[in-house]
């Protein structure tokens, strides 16, 4: 039956996924999988890990000030940046048009 193969659990809980299935789902050594408990058993699915960018306070301040749509929002952004302990004048950013 296609899609069904028997395999074994090895030492330390390792599971050998048959090569045909690894190729089909583009899984190789080091690939991530999601293991999900279900009422009828265990579901394994390929997973992806993506890097997450962590923004510095200065970069967050730049976003706040550069995305202000009008003068009022810009003033609120300046206040928030100062509250972060930063000098808005030292952070390169776009100012809204008057």
Q: How large is the average pLDDT for residues 34-54? A: 91
pLDDT at position 2: 66
What distances in angstroms separate CA 98 from CA 64, 68, 71, 73, 80, one per listed residue? 17, 12, 7, 12, 20
Distance (Å, whole) CA 31 – CA 47: 8
3 confidence band (pLDDT: 50, 70, 90): confident
Q: How large is the average pLDDT for residues 56-82? A: 94
What is the number of other CB atoms lying within 10 angstroms of the CB of residue 11? 5
> What is the reported pTM?
0.50
DSSP state of 76: H
The answer to whether the beta carbons of residues 48 and 54 sit under 8 Å apart is no
């Amino acid at each position: 039956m296609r899609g069904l193969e028997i395999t074994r659990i090895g030492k330390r809980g390792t599971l050998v996924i048959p090569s045909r299935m690894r190729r089909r789902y583009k899984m190789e050594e080091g690939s991530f999988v999601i293991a999900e408990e279900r009422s009828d058993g265990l579901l394994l699915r390929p997973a992806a890990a993506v890097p997450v960018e962590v923004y510095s306070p200065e970069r967050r301040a730049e976003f706040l000030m550069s995305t202000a749509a009008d003068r009022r929002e810009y003033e609120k952004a300046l206040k928030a940046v100062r509250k972060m302990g930063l000098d808005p004048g030292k952070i390169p950013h776009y100012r809204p048009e008057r």
